[in-house]
Structure 1
Amino acid sequence: MAPTPAPPRVTAALCAWGRTVAEPRLAPGGERVAFVATAGGRGQLVVVDLDAGGGGLHAGPELVVSSTPPPCSARAYGGGTFDWLRDGSGLVYAAVDGGLWLQPVDGAPPRRLVEHGPASSPAVSPDGTRVAYVVDTRHVAVVPLGVDGAWPVRLSTTADFCLDPAWSSDGRQVVWQEWDVPAMPWDASRIVARAADGSGGVEVVAGGDTAVQQPRFAATGALAYLGDQSGWGNVRTAGAGVDRALREEDCEHGGPSWGPGQRSFAWSPDGNGMAVCRNEGGFGSLGLVDISSGALRELARGVHGGLSWQGNRLAAVRSGARTPTQVVVYHGEDLATRLVVAQGPPAGFQSAGLVEPQGVSWPGDDGVEIPGRLYRPTTVADEPPPLIAWVHGGPTGQMEVVFNARIAYWVDRGWAVLVPDHRGSTGHGRAFTQALAGRWGELDVADVAAGLRAAADREWGHRRRLVAMGGSAGGFTVLNLLATSPECCAAGVDLYGVADLFELDETTHRFEAHYLHSLLGPLPETAEAYRDRSPVNRLDAITAPLLILQGDKDGVVPLAQSQAVADGLRQRGRTVELHVYEGEGHGWGRPETLIDELERTEAFLTRHVLRRRTP
């Protein structure tokens, strides 16, 4: 008698009932660390005493210091939510009501600083008297922290978008990232500076026809930023007419600017060194770089972000395939000791047999090597496992090797998961990312199809049990893949994917309003590409069973797009299921929705893939 399979260790509830921890920031004296914790769609500001207990570094209990209005939530490797007062007595934060508030850490009621917004990216001046911030990603302004209600001073001028203001060490200047449409920030952006009192003009410090981001000053007055002038997104220093890479290497030191607050590098307190996040083919590490020589010392493996360095303490978000997302503090003279301050996912994953992926690649149709990561189940079987090709969103993005509860869920059930980095993905240099320009819906689809064929040929997965899954831009790729390469997929799962490019161009939100200009081309000149690559116009060719999951409040890809696909496939007699989550937007905010997604998808794939007879 065959042994009874062990029950799954990663349940849907375990995946759903956690929190996101993001944007750790050390207090100016390094004695405390604050971070943003988000659960159930509501953010909280949490402060932890690092000197609790005496006798070395110890993390005290978490103290929630925010109440009403709550702070804006933050992505694990994003931010732009808050900054410390220079004396460590309080936090200036961006709230969900759009305003900017000052919250004392002793729990006293917050005080409103500005009410126009939505505000983001507060940055307190070195002397502690002013705060620079961003209004609606359009403008950079400075407001006094006093109680006199002085009117803000606007620093930005004609730029279409602005992010991440930072102060010079003497408090005289503010620098920030800005760009103009139709470019996206990873196409062409600028680092600019202006006097903090609004006098003089805006000076371009770096960039213009390349992607630049994250301007940040050292205590010495030196300016660093992330730029891809060399073909890779490396940290660079600028000043006195000299602009050079801190350490020029073929890996990425940060991700694309999808929002405010990314902090993938941090100056040492004395300005002689820098902590740098490194992305090598989706695998992350944290390194320390000597400013004068460029020499690198690896501090830790894993994907890091949200770096904050005070004294001999370096705070970060850290994650990996087998490491649930954490807030950590490296400390000691060489920063060699790591203290876990907080964790996002609930306990239980560490004992669930999580697996590390392997880096893989395969040739695209034109011979270009396409990279990816392959997660293999630990179960032993006589035949290759079923396989999910998980297509990331964006499409300018990448699914790095961070903790991913969804992947853990499927691997725990005996599925292999292939994460392809089709052209247009980040993490492989500017040329690889820009290769998708004008070819979205074509090159991404071909690269993923080639990956599925390689998965079958190399027995990464059973050739009759291959599934394509993706959300948003990834859902768009999945739909087009089902239409153009039906032999590659036994089924598809589309989470709020783009289906009609004309409608997307008309209805999407402001940040992406000109995104299609680079991905496809301007209208009306490229109308034929918009028409031909819209999945809603390719429904005749889709024959595989399809599950569509969609929120009814999605402001990026409206419900109408998924509804049109489902209605069209039903009219053609195809197998399609559409489930709409009431109150959900572009991604899920409620744990119950994620539980339903996982369980509903598992039931769908069991019916249409696992129980399907294979030759």
Structure 2
Amino acid sequence: MSTTAHTGSAPADTSPTSPHGGAAVPPHRCGPASADPTGALAAFVCDRGGTPQLWLAAHGDAEPRLLDERADPVTDVSWSPDGRWIAYTSAPGGGEHTVVRCVRPDGSGHRVLAGAGSPAAASFGCWTPDGTALAVTEAVAADGDAPAPGPADAHTAAARSATAEMGLLIASLVDPDGRAAPRRVAAETGSATLRVCDVSRDGRWILLRRGPRGHREAVVLDTVSGRETCLLPAADGDPRVGRFSPDARTLWLRSDEDREYAALLAVELTADGAPGRTVEAAARPDADLELFSADRAVERAALVWNRDGRSLLETAVPGADGTLGAVREVRLPHEVVTRAEPATTGGLLLSLSSSVRPPGVWVAAPDGDPVRTAWTWHRSRPAPASSAPRPPLLLELTARDGLPLSGWFHRAPGVPDAGPCVVHLHGGPESQERPVLDPLYQALLARGLHVFAPDVRGSSGHGRAFLAADLGAGRFAAIDDVADCAAHLVAAGLADPDRLAVMGRSYGGYLVMSVLVRHPDLFRAGVAVSGISDFATFFSDTEPWNAESAAVKYGHPVHDHALLALLSPMTHIGALRAPLLAVHGALDTNVPPGESERFVRAARRLGATAELLVFPDEGHDLARRANRERLYAAAGQWLTRWTT
């Protein structure tokens, strides 16, 4: 059975009132955000209208202004240093193929800078220090016969030809005013990523980040000679890996070279851009440096550390000698920082996530605590205790081979300890489960289902060795980690062994299908969202740049064919016993929907219970609130049906 979900109007807000009075505003997510040069205004992504869109407001404004009325989901935003332009990425139609757009703060001058007319993924990096150009990256045809980045209106966008072969990533500097032609600064064939992270004040030096996950590189490029003068290992995670000092004689770099956890390095650069002495500017023995950012003058920096899934935020003054001065820890109102942007005024613009309320944007004075922006959603009065979200509990356990594991246990209100429980698995695989409010979990908890969200081996935030523990044949152990988590829940008296279920998205969806066929009698039901079922078809159908990255993590589709066949759930589908609901976005080109469609068809041919739910206007992630709510309802009904 296949079901197609159609987008409609979002349900009415169930919160008491709008946070600012007037018409009720549904609970919504805000962030990321970027400040104008004065620090008084912010452009930000928010789904208050049901789809993530671009908004603008002063921090104290109760009602923000919509800058782009298109229903295309917006994912990122950056304000130019001169204040004249706001750049952002959006996904036309809701799929994986993104474009880079820009707009003036007054809402005029809309134009496409990269990705127009091309079935590819375009993204942006940094602005040049004077704000006259934006660095963009576009995937194009390997033979170079592809649309060039640059300002475009609807007429020129339609005239640009699409390409069927996409094997080249090109990074360019684009003038949003369209007065200068785009300038190509780097190109990579068969690369997974390419991003311009910084441009020196004099424009001579460019900092690039490239390479697949687990093998990121920071490259200093001399724009005069075209030579790469410095190459250093960079950390995974946030693509903004470093900044030049004002004189470009120091490179501040987030790196995990020769260490378990990422740290901040200060690398001396010679007049020719070659690396000299390297100083460890900041490091912690038990925490990753997850984010590093600096204001436009590199006079004030923000460092965000990830310790056991929670964030620790510090501000500091980068010194010319490669040290940090005036280090101050900022008291956080929420558990996780997803972006920290130092403002030229000395303050901070923060995107925060909480375990008890939706993500929002906060501002902090130079020496003060963060204050919530007026347009970040909050309840005007407390929710009833029975329905108010509660912070999860961190559980620690040991895998069958002795590897320490951990995860967050969300307890359903009013349900005995040993009740029905869903093990939920995150994507990545190198993502991390964090103690933040997840509407999916809240929907499952409301149905009386506990939720345990673990980090199996291969997850980030636990050191490089843990991150690499699932490589190659280690993926079999990652699948067993899911079974060990279920066993721990039962042994600890937190779950009923006869009412266990499993759910996951992306790589987590792959793990769902894998554990159901490798441990067929453990779970009573499963929900796999956007998961890989067969590595052979995945590598043949996914985007080329995604295949390059995936080959490093999972195995090469030719050289490791036998291993990948054994790791594919489709190979063992005859062992499937538990009812499975597969969910996919029809526009997903990362993990194409055929992965779910073929698995469901094969399961049904063998007599297993399997259903398919397809969202026609979504890609790999469900960006629209109405679609996410349909997923929450469908998953909750499916899991409740088989565990009660």
Shared topology, TM-score over 0.5?
A: yes
Contact 1:320 1:403 in 2 (8 A): yes
Structure 1 counterpart of 2:31, one-letter code: A
* Distance in 2 between residues matched to 1:421 and 1:22, nearest whole Å: 25
Aligned partner of 1:54 in structure 2 is none
- Tell me whether 455-464 or 397-406 shows the greater mean CA deviation: 397-406
**How has the CA–CA distance of structure 1 residues 409 and 285 changed in structure 2, closer, same or farther, with 3 Å as cutoff?**
farther
Aligned partner of 1:456 in structure 2 is 490
User: Per-residue deviation at 1:193?
Assistant: 2.5
* Distance in 2 between residues matched to 1:502 and 1:508, nearest whole Å: 10
Give the secondary-structure state (helix, strand or coil) at the position aligned to 1:598.
Answer: helix
User: Per-residue deviation at 1:42?
Assistant: 5.2
Structure 2 counterpart of 1:224, one-letter code: W
Structure 2 counterpart of 1:29, one-letter code: T
* Distance in 1 between residues matched to 2:12 and 2:613, nearest whole Å: 18
Per-residue deviation, residues 162-218 of structure 1 (Å, max 9, x unmatched): 114322234432212122xxxx2x32122122345x544232242289998522235
User: Per-residue deviation at 1:157?
Assistant: 4.1
- Tell me whether 272-281 or 364-373 shows the greater mean CA deviation: 272-281
**Which aligned pairs between 1:528-539 and structure 2 lie closer than 5 A?**
528-539=562-573
Q: Report how many aligned residue pairs link the two structures.
A: 569
Report whether the alignment pairs 1:37 with 2:61.
Answer: no
Contact 1:422 1:448 in 2 (8 A): yes
**Which aligned pairs between 1:379-390 and structure 2 lie closer than 5 A?**
379=414, 381=416, 384-390=418-424
RMSD, matched Cα: 3.2
User: Per-residue deviation at 1:449?
Assistant: 0.7
The counterpart of 2:229, out of the listed 171, 179, 203, is 203
* Distance in 2 between residues matched to 1:147 and 1:554, nearest whole Å: 32
**How has the CA–CA distance of structure 1 residues 235 and 582 changed in structure 2, closer, same or farther, with 3 Å as cutoff?**
same
The counterpart of 1:173, out of the listed 177, 201, 205, is 205
Aligned partner of 1:517 in structure 2 is 551
Contact 1:132 1:143 in 2 (8 A): yes
Structure 2 counterpart of 1:426, one-letter code: S
Give the secondary-structure state (helix, strand or coil) at the position aligned to 1:514.
Answer: helix
User: Per-residue deviation at 1:530?
Assistant: 1.6
Aligned partner of 2:109 in structure 1 is 109
Report whether the alignment pairs 1:65 with 2:64.
Answer: no
Give the secondary-structure state (helix, strand or coil) at the position aligned to 1:463.
Answer: strand
User: Per-residue deviation at 1:269?
Assistant: 6.9
Give the secondary-structure state (helix, strand or coil) at the position aligned to 2:241.
Answer: strand
**Which aligned pairs between 1:240-251 and structure 2 lie closer than 5 A?**
240=269, 241-251=276-286
* Distance in 2 between residues matched to 1:378 and 1:205, nearest whole Å: 52
Aligned partner of 1:5 in structure 2 is none
Report whether the alignment pairs 1:46 with 2:55.
Answer: yes
Report whether the alignment pairs 1:340 with 2:373.
Answer: yes
Aligned partner of 2:21 in structure 1 is none
Give the secondary-structure state (helix, strand or coil) at the position aligned to 1:462.
Answer: strand
Per-residue deviation, residues 369-391 of structure 1 (Å, max 9, x unmatched): 1121111223253x512111101
**How has the CA–CA distance of structure 1 residues 170 and 347 changed in structure 2, closer, same or farther, with 3 Å as cutoff?**
farther
Report whether the alignment pairs 1:235 with 2:264.
Answer: yes
Give the secondary-structure state (helix, strand or coil) at the position aligned to 1:329.
Answer: strand
Aligned partner of 1:21 in structure 2 is 30
**How has the CA–CA distance of structure 1 residues 40 and 424 changed in structure 2, closer, same or farther, with 3 Å as cutoff?**
farther
User: Per-residue deviation at 1:500?
Assistant: 0.8
Q: Structure 2 length as normaliser, TM-score?
A: 0.80
**Which aligned pairs between 1:363-442 and structure 2 lie closer than 5 A?**
363-379=398-414, 381=416, 384-439=418-473, 441-442=475-476
Q: Structure 1 length as normaliser, TM-score?
A: 0.83
* Distance in 1 between residues matched to 2:45 and 2:261, nearest whole Å: 30
Aligned partner of 1:318 in structure 2 is 352
**How has the CA–CA distance of structure 1 residues 342 and 202 changed in structure 2, closer, same or farther, with 3 Å as cutoff?**
farther
Aligned partner of 2:171 in structure 1 is 140
User: Per-residue deviation at 1:576?
Assistant: 2.2
Per-residue deviation, residues 412-470 of structure 1 (Å, max 9, x unmatched): 33322111111100111111111111036412111111111000000121121111111
User: Per-residue deviation at 1:360?
Assistant: 1.4
Aligned partner of 2:79 in structure 1 is 83
User: Per-residue deviation at 1:603?
Assistant: 2.2
Aligned partner of 2:160 in structure 1 is none
User: Per-residue deviation at 1:141?
Assistant: 1.6
User: Per-residue deviation at 1:579?
Assistant: 2.5
* Distance in 2 between residues matched to 1:208 and 1:298, nearest whole Å: 26
Aligned partner of 1:561 in structure 2 is 595
Structure 1 counterpart of 2:585, one-letter code: G
Per-residue deviation, residues 3-47 of structure 1 (Å, max 9, x unmatched): xxxxxxxx9976996554323111112121211234678553322
Structure 1 runs not aligned, ≥5 long? 1-10, 51-57, 256-263, 611-615
* Distance in 1 between residues matched to 2:540 and 2:236, nearest whole Å: 27
- Tell me whether 129-138 or 598-607 shows the greater mean CA deviation: 129-138
Aligned partner of 2:5 in structure 1 is none
* Distance in 2 between residues matched to 1:236 and 1:344, nearest whole Å: 37
Give the secondary-structure state (helix, strand or coil) at the position aligned to 2:329.
Answer: strand
Structure 2 runs not aligned, ≥5 long? 1-10, 16-24, 93-97, 140-167, 270-275
Aligned partner of 2:272 in structure 1 is none
The counterpart of 2:329, out of the listed 285, 288, 297, is 297
The counterpart of 2:309, out of the listed 271, 282, 289, is 282
Contact 2:242 2:293 in 1 (8 A): no
**How has the CA–CA distance of structure 1 residues 223 and 335 changed in structure 2, closer, same or farther, with 3 Å as cutoff?**
farther
Aligned partner of 1:258 in structure 2 is none
Per-residue deviation, residues 270-302 of structure 1 (Å, max 9, x unmatched): 756532222112222323346546755243142
Contact 1:174 1:195 in 2 (8 A): yes
Structure 2 counterpart of 1:63, one-letter code: R
Report whether the alignment pairs 1:223 with 2:218.
Answer: no
**How has the CA–CA distance of structure 1 residues 360 and 426 changed in structure 2, closer, same or farther, with 3 Å as cutoff?**
same
**Which aligned pairs between 1:247-286 and structure 2 lie closer than 5 A?**
247-253=282-288, 264-267=291-294, 271=298, 273-286=300-313
- Tell me whether 489-498 or 30-39 shows the greater mean CA deviation: 30-39
* Distance in 1 between residues matched to 2:536 and 2:643, nearest whole Å: 33
